[in-house]
Structure 1
Amino acid sequence: MDNNFDGSSSGDRPNVVFGIDPVLDPHRSRGRITGVDNGGVRETWFNTAAFVQPVPGTFFGNSSRNTLEGPGAKSIDVAFLRTFNITERTKLQFRMEMTNAFNFVNLDNPNTSVNSSNFGKISGAGAARQLQLGLRLAF
């Protein structure tokens, strides 16, 4: 349902149910990723019972902007460079670049569409470690 009539139900703010804490884990571990028992489906990142669809015809729900935090991201990029002198004017340069060098799992943000069956669930992750090698001959 597109409450604010912008052509998309994505991004419409829901109503907050008062008395229900949207944070599942007050210790900030922010949800759990389950294993093979349930097919690898991620459990909800926040308490979905704390949000409901606004009444049809109203433009926005009563939740504020940025009510919840996503999982965040952590990535360390590393580059190594070595230049070898072959002759006085000729050089060979070797370069290795790694993005997300320590291969941290960076989860996507949870689904925030109240109408979706995946509401509150994280359905993917960012890129894993990537390695790029380069060789340059300068003469």
Structure 2
Amino acid sequence: MAAIVAGMSAPLLAAHPAPPRPDLPSCTADLLPRAEKAAIEEEYAQRTRADGRAAADAWLRAEARVLMARMERQRICTISAPDKAQAAPQTRAQAKKAPVGKDGTRCKRTRLENRNVANVGGGPMMMVLVPVCAD
């Protein structure tokens, strides 16, 4: 949950262009009261069981936006400036670029190949379709 709340600071920064106040901490899930955090975690678990993880994650992102905006209005925390990786998210055109071959040039023909990819969250490895050069 902390990662999602931290990731939400970039879009909210655009909505709130005021410079961050140095005397307040950056908004994180750790600043939520324990009772509220427990209620959100319980609701997330219930939504995960009922609607699936993708729907629960979407709900959590929306909830994080609301909570961060409220905490900033109450002057509990500030929405920190995003780093360059968050400031320029990948556009759809960038995401569809052809992969680069061994010689460093873009591939003219690609194919999808199943590859075993590690889960950065500590979960099991998963098979994912990855575009590879077919040249």
- Calculate the TM-score normalised by the size of structure 2: 0.25
Larger strand share, 1 or 2: 1
Larger helix share, 1 or 2: 2
- Calculate the TM-score normalised by the size of structure 1: 0.25
